[in-house]
């Protein structure tokens, strides 16, 4: 008898537990949606390179940095104006380059550059703020928060990218940028870096990495590493210093395919031997 009562009690308790559990909502794990983006520092004047960007057929999130003369320049450059207009109509987002000299530049001059971009090239869609300080100093943080608020007060849709070039930053900067560059350096330095796990806690479009002097047979590996770490916007090129942005990568079409297609189905061609043209 006692055994049967205990058995019934256990069964009753089990049913009660199952009932309570059925009422408890199951929270699914946080899923970060993949983001396929490319940023192109278009610091060149060659029309064939601009045309190559325009002719890209794959549907990606494009960010094209326009840099007329270390910024907007003082007068309209008709060549830049033409290509900015064409790129804009093709659905690519054009950002005006503005340098900040790690907060050493007078913030009023930064604002003046922003105003000049809008006046001279009204079809731009945002700004790439370069030479961003990675200092933890609050005074320097407020410098960039003011720039961000200034831009958004002009037009909330303007896209703002900050470029400290590394991930060892004041995380408050994340609040005052739509995207932020967490790595900008050559392939040799890239192989030494270990991107932090906290990048994966954010949407992939929050983070950008730019790697130059990358050999063709390593493009997929570099991209896959960045993607796995939570970086959604990339630029990978075999161009190198002193100006790794004065041309497009020789493997530009391959890079676009790697970003767009599932990486498991992309064959990487071997590097041709010296003096042999593809």
Lowest mean pLDDT among 17-31, 55-69, 103-117: 17-31
For residues 34 and 203, which has the higher predicted lDDT (pLDDT)?
A: 203
pLDDT at 194: 87
Cα–Cα distance measured from residue 199 to residue 228, given in angstroms and rounded to the nearest whole number: 10
Tokens 């809008």 sit at which residue? 118
Mean pLDDT of 236-242: 97
Contact 171, 145 (CB under 8 A): no
Cα–Cα distance measured from residue 93 to residue 112, given in angstroms and rounded to the nearest whole number: 21
**Superfamily (CATH) of domain 37-263:** Glycosidases (3.20.20.80)
pLDDT band for position 70 (50/70/90)?
very high
Mean pLDDT of 15-25: 49
Residue 219: pLDDT over 60: yes
Give the rounded percent of residues in the chain with a pLDDT score beyond 70: 82
Q: Look up the pTM and report it.
A: 0.83
Average pLDDT, the chain: 86
Over residues 143-157, the pLDDT tens digits come to 999 999 999 999 999
Considering only CA atoms, which of 68, 53, 129 is closest in space to residue 98? Answer: 129
pLDDT at 263: 54
127: which strand partners? Answer: 96, 160
Lowest mean pLDDT among 36-50, 51-65, 78-92, 260-274: 260-274
Token pair of 60, please? 């990606």
pLDDT at 277: 46
Token pair of 105, please? 């530049």
């Amino acid at each position: 008898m006692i055994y049967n009562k205990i058995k019934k009690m256990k069964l009753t308790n089990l049913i009660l537990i199952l009932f309570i559990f059925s009422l408890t909502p199951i929270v699914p794990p946080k899923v970060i949606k993949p983001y396929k983006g490319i940023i192109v520092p278009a610091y060149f004047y060659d029309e064939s390179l601009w045309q190559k960007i325009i002719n890209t057929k794959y549907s990606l999130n494009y960010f094209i940095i326009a840099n007329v003369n270390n910024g907007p320049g003082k007068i309209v450059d008709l060549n830049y104006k033409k290509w900015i207009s064409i790129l804009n109509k093709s659905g690519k987002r054009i950002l005006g380059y503005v340098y900040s000299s790690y907060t050493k530049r007078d913030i009023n001059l930064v604002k003046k550059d922003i105003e000049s971009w809008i006046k001279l090239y009204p079809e731009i869609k945002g700004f790439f703020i370069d030479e961003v300080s990675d200092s933890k100093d609050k005074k320097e943080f407020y410098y960039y928060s003011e720039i961000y608020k200034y831009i958004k007060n002009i037009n909330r849709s303007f896209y703002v990218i900050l470029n400290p070039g590394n991930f060892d930053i004041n995380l408050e900067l994340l609040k005052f940028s739509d995207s932020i560059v967490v790595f900008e350096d050559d392939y040799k330095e890239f192989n030494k870096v270990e991107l932090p796990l906290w990048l994966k806690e954010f949407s992939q479009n929050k983070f950008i990495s730019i790697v130059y002097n990358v050999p063709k047979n390593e493009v997929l590996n570099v991209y896959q590493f960045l993607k796995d770490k939570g970086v959604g916007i990339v630029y990978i090129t075999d161009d190198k210093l002193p100006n790794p942005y004065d041309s497009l990568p020789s493997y530009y079409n391959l890079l676009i395919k790697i970003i767009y297609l599932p990486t498991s189905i992309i064959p990487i061609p071997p590097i041709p031997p010296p003096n042999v043209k593809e």
